[in-house]
Amino acid sequence: MLQQLLGESNYTVVFTGAGMSTESGLPDFRSSKGLWKEKDPSRIASINSLNQNVHEFIEFYRERVLGVKEYKPHQGHYILAKWEKQGIIKSIITQNVDGFHQQAGSKQVAELHGTLQKLHCQSCGKSYSSDEYVNRDYYCECEGILRPSIVLFGEALPEDAFQFALQESEKADLFIVLGSSLTVTPANQFPLIAKENGAKLVIVNRDKTDFDPYADEVINHKSIGEVLKELNNSF
């Protein structure tokens, strides 16, 4: 069914979650082996931690930056990038912060939760490469603290990414969710917005989601990579 929907669609938008990244080897957050089983996110990954527990905050995120650099996009990321060039999909909305979509060549990407590929100064806003953390350089030339350019607990989503995601969701006639539990708000509202605006909704995820009843098709029994490779071979 997804193959037919994709072939008939004039405006396909893809929404990716942690499952897209775990197929590259990156750990997720909420599974039994996820990062949040060992760390309390409200204490570490928050604006309060940045302000009050700087050393612990920096060490945690340095490990995350190093972790992302150990892995790379998988074939599914490259298939999506190819489809964008071919006009098969129009854009990607992602909850992931690894930057793998852009590394694979995707251009129209809304990073709802920011990226670990960049840092910026908490004081003056100047941008830096995440290599600064690798080299243990944690301070800006203005002496402000360098922090990852991600959304921390207690912060709003980046306005540009949010507005782009909203517009794309409203335009979509096919909205494909890849590897998201759809439990994090407000990001999980975009599939519903697409559906309310007339889009077909397809959810590809290993586990069931609360949004499955609204979907036109749900695929639980295949990995994202398998689904994308099969579709790619059909074009």
β-pair partners for 184: none
d(CA 191, CA 182): 9
What CA–CA distance (Å, rounded) separates 116 from 65?
Answer: 6
Distance CA 232, CA 131 (A): 35
Is 18 annotated as belonging to a binding site?
A: yes
153 marked among binding-site residues: no
Q: What is the rounded CA–CA span in Å between residue 46 and residue 142?
A: 23
223 touches 210 (CB < 8 A): no
Q: Which residues pair with 178 in a beta bridge?
A: 16, 204
Q: Is 64 annotated as a binding residue?
A: no
| Residue 75 assigned as binding residue | no
124: annotated binding-site residue?
A: yes
Does the annotation flag 164 for ligand binding?
no
CB 176 within 8 A of CB 13: yes
From the list 77, 101, 113, 221, the catalytic residue is: 113
Q: Does the annotation list 130 as a binding residue?
A: no
Q: Is 29 annotated as a binding residue?
A: yes
Residue 10 known to bind ligand: no
Whole-angstrom distance, CA of residue 160 vs CA of residue 112 = 9
Is 106 one of the annotated binding-site residues? no
**Residue 97 annotated in ligand binding:** yes
Active site residue 55: no
Chain position carrying tokens 């306005």: 159
Is 185 annotated as a binding-site member? no
**Where does 48-206 show beta strands of DSSP type E?**
91-94, 109-111, 114-121, 127-129, 146-150, 174-178, 200-204
82-105 burial: b if 16+ Cβ within 10 Å, else e: bbbeeebbbbbbbbbbbbbbbebe
Q: For residue 98, say whether it is annotated as part of any ligand binding site.
A: yes
Q: Please tell me whether 233 is known to bind a ligand.
A: no
Cite the active site residues: 113
Q: Which residues are annotated as a binding site for NAD(+)?
A: 18, 22, 29-30, 95, 97-98, 113, 180-181, 205, 224
Binding annotation for Zn(2+): 121, 124, 140, 142
Q: What are the binding residues?
A: 18, 22, 29-30, 95, 97-98, 113, 121, 124, 140, 142, 180-181, 205, 224
Residues annotated within a binding site for nicotinamide: 29, 97-98
